[in-house]
Amino acid sequence: MPKVVLEKVSKRFGRITALDKIDLMLDDGEYSCILGPTGSGKTTLLKIIAGLVEPDSGDVYIDGKRVTGTPAEKRNAVYMHQNYALFPHLTVSQNIIFGLTARGFEEETARRKVSEVLETVKLGEWANAYPRELSGGMQQRVALARCLATGARLLLLDEPLGALDARLRLEVRRELSRIAEELNLTVIHVTHDQSEALSLADRLILMRSGKIIQTGPPEEVYFKPNSVFSAYFVGESVFLEGVVRRVDGRIVTLELRNGTVIEALSNEGFKRGELAVAAVRCEDIGVGGGPLTARLKEVNFLGSFSKLVFELTGGLKITVNIPLPRFIKEEFRIGASFQLSIPREKTYLFKQPPMGLMGEIEAV
């Protein structure tokens, strides 16, 4: 039985359409990440599921029950705000008890729940500590424990890691994944961080301007982007604009602005003379032994991989990500000439977006 269903949900704030006829179906026990740029409508969507915002039209179902109009506390769902706040004058356990009694739990029941959820978030020894004695990551786990204690099976998390340092974010991310799995929770997690979404989600929901652009398992969205925007926002790609010069079965030949010719595979029915945009993942471009001559302009070391910027004739720039082991072994000297290849089986080809490539990307 699907746990969360949205049917044609729309919401406007004044002149702005925050959500535009959203349809969505999420399974029981699924960990979904809603990913998108600022202003794409992801928080509004989450708040509508939580019951904190009512849609203008459309319906929300949780566990097969229509909950549109049902108050938030009666939805068997709990919403964790981006700026979760613990009460500074209450201890960890008092913070959790307060959250429960405010929801109408008996104090006795609340007390019993506390030790249970503190074990889950591995803070059993900190029950009597005050928030100021805890690190940012631990406070975050207390806020999570407070949500878990309500017994709600649907956890709605709005940028839950946004307030944490980058390093800590990685650790709490792994914790979150463990807890969701252990308790078999259904989680909907809003983020603008694609690596967070990729590593946590069973299902990724990519949004933009109030619409869902693509949804599916992370691997599917990553390896089969359905649009220029999807290839741009999830993972890193190089985008190449050009004119279709030849179509031979699935093989489409594209001439780029600088005269370079590349090939891609597509079933989308491209026609000769048509404008198109090719996208290639920055890690899929071959360096050494390829038909394209390029000069290395920049080397940016990023630890586990390095970002190399090459320039083709006509000033066309191509960024290639090289994993650390190869970066250590080979010499990448700025100014040196390299041969690049763009493998056609890894090149995604899209129709030219109506607002042009930059319009499609910069509207972010």
Tokens of 32: 């979904």
Nearer to another protein, 52 or 282 (CB): 282
Between 81 and 103, whose beta carbon lies closer to another protein?
Answer: 81
> Between residues 244 and 296, which has the closer beta carbon with respect to another protein?
296
Nearer to another protein, 56 or 165 (CB): 165
Residue 22's beta-bridge partner residues? 9
Distance from C-alpha of 144 to C-alpha of 359, rounded to nearest angstrom: 39
Tokens of 321: 């990500």
CB of 135 to another protein, least distance (A): 5
Please report the beta strands in the chain, taking only residues with DSSP state E, as ranges in sequence order.
Answer: 4-13, 16-26, 31-35, 57-62, 65-66, 77-80, 154-158, 186-191, 203-208, 211-216, 237-248, 251-256, 261-265, 275-281, 286-301, 305-311, 317-323, 337-341, 347-351
- Minimum Å distance from CB 342 to another protein? 15
C-beta of 116 vs 330, nearer to another protein: 330
21 vs 346 by CB, closer to another protein: 346
Residue 150 CB, nearest distance to another protein (Å)? 28
Nearest one of 345, 210, 208, 338 to 265, comparing CA atoms: 345
| Shortest distance (Å) from residue 248 CB to another protein | 26
Bridge partners, residue 206, by sequence: 35, 214
Q: How far is the CB of 285 from another protein (least distance, A)?
A: 11
**38 versus 267: smaller Cβ distance to another protein:** 38
Number of Cβ atoms within 10 Å of the Cβ of 38: 8
For residue 257, what is the DSSP state? Answer: T
Going by their DSSP bridges, the two strands 31-35 and 203-208 should be labelled as: parallel
Binding site for another protein (CB under 8 A): 37-39, 135-137, 165-168, 170, 192-195, 198-199, 218-219, 222, 232-233, 235-236, 281-283, 298, 300-305, 307, 321, 323-325, 328, 362, 364
Q: In whole angstroms, how close is the CB of 235 to another protein at the nearest point?
A: 6
Q: Which is nearer to another protein, 87 or 301 (CB)?
A: 301
Report in angstroms how near the CB of residue 73 gets to another protein at its nearest. Answer: 31
Kindly state the smallest distance separating residue 302's Cβ from another protein, in Å.
5
Other C-beta atoms lying within 10 Å of the C-beta of residue 288 = 10
Burial string for 53-92 (b: 16+ CB within 10 Å, else e) reads bebeebebbbbeeebbeeebeebbbbbbbeebebeeeebb
Provide the residue type at 136 as one letter: G
Tokens representing 345? Answer: 């089986």
End-to-end CA distance of the chain: 35
Task: Considering the complex, state which of residue 97 and residue 280 has its C-beta at the smaller distance from another protein.
Answer: 280
Q: How far is the CB of 137 from another protein (least distance, A)?
A: 8
Pairing relation of β-strands 347-351 and 275-281? antiparallel
